[in-house]
Structure 1
Amino acid sequence: MSVAIERLKNGIFKENVTFVQVLAMCPTLAVTSSAINGLGMGLSSTVVLIGANFVVSLLRKVIPDKIRIPAFIVIIASFVTLLQFILAGFVPALNKSLGIFIPLIVVNCMILGRAEAFASKNGPISSIFDAVGQGLGFTLSLTVIGLVRELLGSGKIFGNQIIPSTFPALIFVLAPGAFITLGIMMGIINHRKLKSSKKSN
């Protein structure tokens, strides 16, 4: 149980996909114009990551080394296809909003990376907890970035008007706003990590 908790904590904080590993930047920058988009993409990626990690872990002794990457991609693509059908059937608005970035989960380096670095070397239970930790960290990052961009860019949070629409800076819901928000947040996190490391020394 302690190992499982450690995997969860690492995925959310120490090995956070967005702010620490700086992976999956394409969806991070493209879909976080609103909090609901960030949350939707994060949860979608998490579902695929859990499924892919579990299956890769089960088949880790069966898949030959020479074809492991193509095999991992086929496994991931299968889960992405199922996910897209589910989104199209039950939450079509979110599916339309995320658009091409749902199919592109297949080549998300976070998911392929966890399959290669962790699931292919560990058991199913550990792989599931690793996927949940990494997925929650990714979801949290995308949602927070989306919250900041949506609030500053349109004065809304999850579609609810919080501040007058005349106040916000439109740039934050546009492409440059994604880079600005991500850069400032990474700067704050790195500054805090530097201060805490100095205190521990």
Structure 2
Amino acid sequence: MSDISYRDISLNGLWKNNPAIVQLLGLCPLLAVTGSVINAIGMGIATMLVLTVSNTAVSMIRSFASDAIRLPAFVMIIAAAVTCIELLMQAFAYELFQILGIFLPLITTNCVILGRADAFACKNKVLPAMYDGFIMGVGFAVILILLGAIREVIGTGAIFANMDLLFGEAAKHWRIVLVDDYTAVLVAILPPGAFIFTGLIIALKNIIDTGIKNREATKTEKVAPTSRRVRVTGNIS
């Protein structure tokens, strides 16, 4: 694939083709671990690193891997990257590693990662592939963190709790209480809340996209009559 535009890659990963709210991939961790911001940050960073590393490695071997071994090779690369991330989290963020539990190794089967390896990384050079993996990971992480923030605020009336699990002792006091004596909305931090707020985020994006399309259509309609009048005037003169 030639003429790779890094601007297009950025727009696709962050908005137009966001893996979480457009492709609807990786919904298992998206819905399961976003009960708080810290969980979302941990999973988002892990997924972003795996995407970046796997895309880079897949692009590097694209000329050597035949069609017969391509898919197994991709899975082994992704599994190796996930294993390295797990070991790092065990070493430096063990409590968060325990909280994320089975959803960390399940990154291996995340359709976002395998999909980008097959659809983009194996067809492009190393730098575009690495950037695509990074941006797709950022786009996925942003939605994770946004969903985690919404659920934590509505569910507990506070935000940034337990940040020390990832950022150390200095982050123990990062928790911000937004409402004193808040009556917890338990549904927000339970699985039904994940479905509800994910749907609302998707609906908001669709509304924004529809508004943008309508404005562009209106501009086109305004320009078209003007162009016709100019051509008619030119012909008469």
Which structure 1 residue ranges, 5 or more long, are not aligned? none
1:86 to 85, 88, 92: 88
Q: RMSD of the TM alignment (CA)?
A: 1.4
In 2, the alpha carbon distance for the partners of 1:2 and 1:80 equals 28
1:2, 1:63 → 2: CA distance?
Answer: 22
Counterpart position of 2:11: 9
Deviating 4+ runs (over 6 angstroms): none
State yes or no: 1:132 paired with 2:134. yes
Report what 1:171 is aligned to.
Answer: 187
Same amino acid, percent of matched pairs: 39
Q: TM-score, normalised by structure 1?
A: 0.96
Aligned: 1:141 with 2:157: no
Q: Distance in 2 between matches of 1:11 and 1:188?
A: 17
Q: Any conservation in 2 of the 1:151–1:168 contact (CA below 8 Å)?
A: no
* Amino acid in structure 2 at the alignment position of 1:124: V
Query: Is the alpha carbon distance of 1:200 and 1:171 closer, same or farther for their aligned partners in structure 2, counting shifts above 3 Å?
Result: same
Structure 2 partner of 1:198: 214
- Larger-gyration structure (1/2): 2
Residues 8 and 132 of structure 1 are in contact (CA less than 8 Å); yes or no, is this contact kept in structure 2?
A: no
Q: TM-score, normalised by structure 2?
A: 0.82
Distance in 2 (CA, whole Å) between partners of 1:191 and 1:31 is: 26
Which of 32, 43, 64 matches 2:66?
64
CA contact (8 A) 2:14 2:136 kept: yes
Q: Is the 8 A contact 1:28 1:142 kept in 2?
A: yes
Aligned mates of 2:112, 2:4 — CA distance in 1: 24
Residue 183 (structure 1) aligns with:
199
Cα distance in 1, alignment partners of residues 41 and 79 from structure 2 = 21
CA separation in 1, counterparts of 2:4 and 2:125? Answer: 15
Q: In structure 2, what is the equivalent of residue 118 of structure 1? A: 120
CA offset at residue 20 of structure 1? 1.3
Q: CA deviation at 1:9?
A: 2.6
- Name 1:95's counterpart in structure 2: 97
* Runs of 5+ unmatched residues, structure 2: 162-174, 218-237
Counterpart contact for 2:15–2:139, Cα < 8 Å: yes
In the alignment, what sits opposite 1:54? Answer: 56
User: What is the distance in 2 between the residues matched to 1:82 and 1:37?
Assistant: 19
Cα 1:165/1:81, change in 2 over 3 Å: farther
CA distance in 1, matches of 2:69, 2:4: 34
Larger RCO, structures 1/2 (Cα 8 Å, 6+ apart): 1
What amino acid is aligned across from residue 196 of structure 1 in structure 2? I
Aligned equivalent of 2:227 = none
Kept in 2: contact 1:154–1:165 (CA 8 A): no
- Count matched residues: 201
Quickly say closer, same or farther: Cα 1:68–1:125, change in 2 above 3 A: same
